[in-house]
Amino acid sequence: MVKSWEHRTRFALIPALFTHRFDRALVIGLGTGNTLRAVAQMPFQKIDAAELAPQVVEAALLWFADVNGRVFDRDPRVTPLSPMDETSCVCLAIAMT
């Protein structure tokens, strides 16, 4: 049985297989920060982590440091973004083929 954290690591690894440039990465949805930790192990020059709820960013920092490896504190490439700090509405379009 695959553990939940292994799925989240794969969420980062699978798209990276198809990446030709490692200039910048965007992780959408922070959660515990495990996917962000996995992305930070790759040679991206800049990594943004977008999370709608500022409380989730705070929880990741305070309660899940063991899961995310304190990537916020240890990796200067990582920038947490919370669009709801300055935005009243966020829309996301998902297209399926």
Locate 43 and state its tokens.
Answer: 């040679």
Cβ atoms of residues 79 and 85 within 8 Å: no
pLDDT tens column, 30-82: 889 988 999 999 999 999 888 888 888 899 999 999 989 999 889 999 988 77
- Please, what are the domains in the chain? 4-85 (3.40.50.150)
Please tell me the distance from the alpha carbon of residue 67 to that of residue 44, in angstroms, as a whole number.
20
Other C-beta atoms closer than 10 Å to the C-beta of 88 total 6
Q: Which residues of 22-55 are buried (b: 16+ CB within 10 A; e: fewer)?
A: eeebebeebbbbbbbbbbbeeebeebbbbbbeee
* Residue 53, pLDDT score: 84
